[in-house]
Amino acid sequence: LVQSEQKYGDFVLELDWKNLKQEKYDSGIYFRYDETMMTPKSPWPPRYQSNLRQGDEGNVAGVKGAKPRPDLVKPGDWNHFKLTVRGATAELEINGKPAWKGEGLEGPKEGFIALQAEVPAGGPFRFRNIYLTK
């Protein structure tokens, strides 16, 4: 897990990602979580995750409407995500196309942002061109 140094409230995160595993790949983008220490029982932050799991890329569980069409992602190729979070609303573009707009973000108004690559079970992954705007 690679975590931001500071907390963010409203932000735009743009990045490119590529899965290097042919199948059953898994990773994620976490945001708005308040805890810096994970526990052995739960090594991932307890807040929102824009999933990068095969077949579920871009989905954010617990946010109404935050499930994209699977045809927006190019498995095994570079994909561009633009995640915009404002107040209780989040939206995602995948490869330049609107994927979803969701409502109902709860919890902290600010939190850390992190990139996760599950290795060996779900990775490896590559990330590049990472831009974060407050």
What are the residues whose beta carbons fall under 8 Å from the beta carbon of 52, sequence distance 6 or more?
17, 19, 25, 26, 27, 28, 29, 58, 125
pLDDT over 90 (residue 70)? no
Residue 40's pLDDT band (boundaries 50, 70, 90)? low
State the pLDDT at residue 87: 95
Interval 107-116: pLDDT, tens = 889 999 999 8
pTM of the model: 0.91
